[in-house]
Amino acid sequence: MTHHFFLPGIKSGRKAVLTGPDGHHAVRVLRLKAGEEVTLADGCGKCYRAEVVALKGGTVELNVLAELPGSEAPIEVILLQGLPKGDKMDFIIEKCTELGVGQIWVLQTERVIPKLDAAGERRRLSRWRRKAEAAACQSRRGRIPVVEGLYDLETALARLAPDTFLLVPWEKKGGLDLRYALDSVAAGRPLAVLIGPEGGLSEREVEKARQAGGLVVSLGPRILRTETAGLVCLAAIMYELGDLGCARR
C-alpha cells in the first residue's frame, strides 16, 4: 500500500522534504527506499504523487510528480458529538474521518457522564487530533478534520455559521425522515449534525437546537448507540449529497 503524509506548502514539480516524526517514521518504521512512491497532501485538500529521492538519517527527500484527483467531500459537514464514555470518541473520530467529515466538535451536554478537568480536556483533545490525523493518512484525505471542544451546547450553536443546515437526530417520534430532510439542503450550504451522548439529548436541548434553526429528524424505528448514530447520519449525507456513489437528485 502506498504511504500517505501531510506536508504543507507542496507543489507539483518541486522538491519536498519529510522531517521530524514523519521523517523518522518513514525511515525507521516504514523503511522506505529510494525510488518508492508515496502520496502527499498539503492539508488544504490537494493530494500529490511523489517519489523518494534520498534518505538521510530521519529525513526523506522527495520529488513531487503530479497532482492527484481530489479526495475531499463536496459538502462540509460538522459533527456536534456529545462526549461518550470510555474510548468511544476515538472510534467516532476515526470512522467519521474516513467518511469525509469536515469538523468534529465535542460537546459537554446535560447527560454526558465523563467529567473532565482542564488538564483532562487538553489530553483528550490532543489524542483526538492525533487520531484524526492518523485516520486522514490511512484514508488518503487531502486535509485533516478539525477537532475542537469541549463546548457546551449554547456555545456550539452560537459558533455555527448563520446559514448552517442543522440536523438533530432524536429517538422520539415526530422527526422528519432524514432522506426528505436532505432534499431541502441547498447546494454548497454547510451542514451540521447534533448527536447526544449515551443518555441522548434532553427535551430542553432539542428545543434549544430547534430555536437555533435545527431540524429534528428520524434515523428509523430502532434506537442507535451514540457511536453509531453519527456514522449512520454522516454516511446517509455523503450518499445523498456527497461522494459515496450517488449523484445528487
Q: How far apart are CA 220 and CA 223, in angstroms?
A: 8
Phi, psi of 48 (to 5 degrees): -140, 155
- Output Rg (C-alpha) for the chain, integer angstroms: 20
Give CATH for domain 4-67. Answer: 2.40.240.20
Phi, psi of 143 (to 5 degrees): -150, 160
Bridge-based pairing of strands 165-169 and 191-195 is parallel
Give CATH for domain 77-241. Answer: 3.40.1280.10
pLDDT tens string 70-118: 889 999 999 999 999 999 999 999 999 999 999 999 999 999 999 888 9
Strands (E), the chain: 4-6, 15-18, 37-41, 47-56, 59-67, 77-82, 103-107, 146-151, 165-169, 176-177, 191-195, 215-218
Ordered by start, the domain boundaries in the chain are 4-67, 77-241
HSE toward the beta carbon, residue 183, CA cutoff 13 A: 6
pLDDT tens string 183-230: 888 777 889 999 999 999 999 999 999 999 999 999 988 899 999 999
Query: Residue 117 CB: number of other CB atoms within 10 A?
Result: 8
Of 73, 77, 82, residue with least CA distance to 229 = 82
pTM equals 0.91
